[in-house]
A and B are shown apart, each in its own frame.
Chain A
């Protein structure tokens, strides 16, 4: 049953990423892949909230795995971020590619840390 829940949560997370990314990309009309970056930072913040609530005992049982491993793990994506940064690099938008690459990692780390802190851990 846990695996079924992880599967459904993962499908929903991937679908949410697809919709949010398309929505942001259609509105910003920027050559930079902002959709993926915003998805990853927002998902990392939420994962920090989940991790904090698991460590304080607010979330118990399989809920943490279903939310963090299933939904948020699939909502955020490393592969797309890397492919987009590689394409920026190969298209000679090297500075933008490096800013995207490092900025996403720093942004996701800070967002996850903020999420954990907000749970009062």
Chain B
């Protein structure tokens, strides 16, 4: 979502590097905080919501400040935070909850992930606009397209 056009080797390398870090941190948390069968998958949930907030914040700061260099959005955004969060683990967790008959947890996890995830992204965009426009509370609007 950063830079339309064919991705260059340099750009792919930045995403790769960020992805190594994001994936290791996510798998490390999953190892340290295992979730028992049938329970609400809290580890994936917290990782995903945190990552959605941070990605929205980073990408908004970059957009507000009109940063041209793609290093931060590709390394930190698409790479690290993109890989720190996951949809496939969430999907497999939904399948396990369904297969084991934990339908209430399935519904709570589905609705909870979407509602909290999009609220986290909206909050991240708001925080990013504030930080990007120079952290002051006086000129908060520098957000979208003043000129």
Footprint of B on A, CB under 8 Å?
3, 6-15, 17-19, 21-22, 25-26, 33, 35-36, 40, 43-44, 46-48, 51, 65, 68-70, 72-87, 89-90, 101-102, 104-105, 108-109, 111-113, 116
Contact: B52 with A82, CB < 8 Å? yes
Complex interface bits, B105-147 against A, C-beta within 8 A gives 1, otherwise 0:
0000010011001101110110000000000000000000000
> Chain B contacts of A22 at CB under 8 A?
4-7
How far is B20's CA from A25's CA once the two chains are assembled, in angstroms? 24
Given A21-B1, A102-B114, A73-B78 contact (CB < 8 Å): no
A-facing mask of B54-80, CB < 8 A → 1, else 0?
Answer: 111001000000000000001000110
- B118 CB contact (under 8 Å) in A19, A73, A82: A82
Chain B residues contacting A8 (CB-CB under 8 Å) are 20
**Are A101 and B114 interface neighbours, CB within 8 A?**
yes
Min CB distance A110 to B, Å, is: 9
Across chains A and B, the number of contacting residue pairs, with CB separation under 8 Å, is 214
Question: Can you pick out 12 interface pairs between chain A and chain B where the beta carbons lie within 8 Å of each other?
Answer: A14-B83, A18-B11, A25-B1, A70-B27, A78-B113, A80-B55, A82-B120, A86-B125, A87-B125, A105-B110, A112-B92, A116-B92
Given A82-B52, A82-B56, A113-B98, residue A44 in contact with residue B88 (CB < 8 A): yes
Give bound CA distance, A70 to B22, whole Å. Answer: 9
Which partner residue on chain A sits nearest B12 by CB separation? A15
Chain B neighbourhood of A90, CB < 8 A: 122, 125
Task: Knowing A6-B23, A65-B27, A86-B125 are in contact, say whether A44-B87 is a contact too (CB < 8 A).
Answer: yes
- Is the CB–CB distance between B91 and A111 below 8 Å? yes
B124 touches A83 (CB 8 A): yes
Choose among A47, A77, A87, A109 the residue with the greatest number of B CB atoms under 10 Å from its CB. A77
- B86 touching A25 by the CB < 8 A rule? no
B19 touches A79 (CB 8 A): no
Nearest residue, chain B, Cβ from A104: B87
Minimum distance in angstroms from B11 CB to a CB of chain A: 7
Contacts of A10 in B (CB 8 A): 19-24, 26-27, 83
Known: A22-B4, A78-B52. A101 touches B92 (CB 8 A): no
Closest partner residue, chain A, to B56 (CB atom): A83
Complex contact B88–A47 (CB within 8 A): yes
Residues of B within 8 A of A78 (CB): 48, 51-52, 85-87, 90, 113, 117
